[in-house]
Amino acid sequence: MATHINTPEWVKDAVFYQIFPDRFATSSHVPKPKNLQAWDAPPTHHGFKGGDLLGVVEKLDYLKSLGVNAIYFNPIFASTANHRYHTHDYYVVDPLLGGNPAFFEMLEAAHANGFRVVIDGVFNHASRGFFQFNHLLEAGRESPYVDWFYPYGWPLNAYNENERPNYAAWWGLHALPKFNAQNPMVREFLWNVATYWLEQGVDGWRLDVPAEIDDDSFWREFRRRCKQVNPEAYIVGELWGDAHRWLSGDQFDAQMNYPFMRAALGFFGGHNLDQRDTIHTGLGYIQTLDATGFAQALTAMHEKYHPEIVQAQLNMLGSHDTPRVFTIVNGDLSTLSLLFLCQMTVAGAPNIYYGDEIGLPGGRDPDSRRAFPWHDEASWRTDLLADVRRFVALRHSTPALRRGDFRVLYAERQVVVFQRRLGDEVAVVAFNAGFHEHGFTVHQALPANLVSALDPAVPLLRADNHFTLSPRSGVVWVGRS
């Protein structure tokens, strides 16, 4: 176990925006094949809409207006899947996205505009079209690459879905043959992919299902090589629960913080959650939380790992693997606003899944991957968008919200109040998730000069630290001790 833990400094100041490349934006400068789905048509498992990386370049001003300063891309490499988790070539950006030239143009433009760029690494499995696996399909048991995978018999059954694949495959899916990560050649191949793209200028990796490469030595060497190229490279794993094994400073910097998402939904959404689809995803069933339960969850989140890890966690309200948060909360905009405010005021880097800031709806995959409705601004929830912009700006302007310590000041019924402190700066954050006005008294000493950071009409805390919160509201006071 590592005794000295460091995570990238820039991540602690980052607000991420997650882009599913086929669905975010399209540019006329990237040639398109004819057989694309209409942009506003319901998404399907296999259909492509033609989003590309130059389209992202053309929307950088929008992202800047939102206040985000980092982008996490779902997979970009050549693939026959619209989500591109079926990798054909780890060194070739998908031609539908504009290929390598478009990627490097996007990377240069993003960096010039102050954005960091993190890309998705799918290293547990490849695809049937990956060269070495295709070699097995063609040459059979005599292929020199036979030990890159786990074949159980011959010939390989790669396409008859009425019978199980006779090789190891992710979740038994024929299309996703699992790498033999114990093979030194495979290990070198994957490590070289990781370092190559860092050398090209990407700022980090989001790792898909990394727990399925059940080998700490693999990930320790992965980290060593990545940090050797760029000590500030961000390594974040898709880990849905407890992640101590990987978050001890010698493997990953952080996890995708789905535990935060579950707790926040359980408190702010409460009983008004549509869980018909959540139970079919990694979220599972979301338990309703009262103030005490939510305060305990937040405290655990801030104390569970080393502070360096806590400040680098990727805090989610949704992703490509969950139903849209708008749909989970039954379209309740007050819940969405409270969720975003909470996301921007706890430790860890917030991650906004594209379209969540305008209330884009959607059930589970593929419905959670709808195209961004650029040509239908009438469908945008503009009040929510305005709130998100204010909350992001608040986070950027208040160092205590990014790097401060955490302490619960009050938790009763549906009201939670917590404090973030960094040096002499203090931020007090109060939420009333209930439907009734609630008075509370903070018994700890607070600075006398706390002022509302979001709404000037909200008064100072009284000298006796007593205040009344309106129903379904959130308040942030900032001052100096």
Residues classed as catalytic: 208, 238
Task: Quote the tokens at residue 230.
Answer: 């760029």
Comparing CA positions, the residue from 282, 244, 291 lying closest to residue 264 is 291
DSSP label at residue 169: B
Helices and strands (DSSP H and E) totals, the chain: 14, 17
Q: What does the alpha-carbon distance between residue 142 and residue 118 come to, in Å, rounded to a whole number?
A: 38
Q: How many CB atoms lie within 10 A of CB 29?
A: 13
Q: What does the alpha-carbon distance between residue 294 and residue 476 come to, in Å, rounded to a whole number?
A: 18
Contact 210, 123 (CB under 8 A): yes
E strands, 94-193, in order? 116-121
Residue 448's contacts (CB-CB under 8 Å, 6 or more residues apart) are 463, 479
Q: If residue 229 lies in a helix (H) or strand (E), which one and from where to where?
A: helix 216-229
Q: What does the alpha-carbon distance between residue 144 and residue 136 come to, in Å, rounded to a whole number?
A: 8
**Dihedrals phi, psi of 226, to nearest 5 degrees:** -65, -45
Contact 431, 408 (CB under 8 A): no
Contact 276, 284 (CB under 8 A): no
Give 234's strand partners. 204
Please state the separation of Cα 296 from the chain's center in Å: 23
Q: What does the alpha-carbon distance between residue 17 and residue 324 come to, in Å, rounded to a whole number?
A: 15
Contact 347, 311 (CB under 8 A): yes
Contact 352, 317 (CB under 8 A): yes
Residue 251's contacts (CB-CB under 8 Å, 6 or more residues apart) are 216, 219, 220, 222, 223, 235, 237, 245
Q: What does the alpha-carbon distance between residue 294 and residue 434 come to, in Å, rounded to a whole number?
A: 13
Comparing CA positions, the residue from 271, 221, 272 lying closest to residue 250 is 221
Given CA atoms 334, 382, 325, 210 in this order, what sign does their dihedral have? Answer: negative
Contact 306, 389 (CB under 8 A): no
Q: What does the alpha-carbon distance between residue 467 and residue 197 come to, in Å, rounded to a whole number?
A: 52
Residue 144's contacts (CB-CB under 8 Å, 6 or more residues apart) are 135
| Residue written as token pair 């019978």 | 163
